[in-house]
Amino acid sequence: MEVIYSLIPGMMFFGVILVVVLIFSVKKGQYEDMEGSGNRILMDDDEDMMPHPTKRPDADKKTIE
């Protein structure tokens, strides 16, 4: 029973800290664009980073074997 006398103030302090962090993150704009990251991952913009296949000079010649 004596441990509850230290747990209640500790949890109240922890709760106040979490509320302060929440208010700070809302003021900084953390929750402004909730769907942007989810849509950004679906966009295929990495085609510029992929190397284009080059045509070999001997690819035009047909070999008959």
Are residues 12 and 18 in contact, defined by beta-carbon separation less than 8 angstroms? no
DSSP 3-state of 44? coil
> What pLDDT, on a 0 to 100 scale, did the predictor assign at position 42?
76
Report d(CA 12, CA 10) in Å as an integer: 5
What tens-digit pLDDT sequence spans the chain (65 residues)? 889 999 999 999 999 999 999 999 999 988 887 777 777 777 766 666 666 666 655 555 665 65
> What pLDDT, on a 0 to 100 scale, did the predictor assign at position 8?
95
> What pLDDT, on a 0 to 100 scale, did the predictor assign at position 43?
73
DSSP 3-state percent helix, strand, coil across the chain (nearest 5):
55, 0, 45
> What pLDDT, on a 0 to 100 scale, did the predictor assign at position 27?
94
> What pLDDT, on a 0 to 100 scale, did the predictor assign at position 65?
55
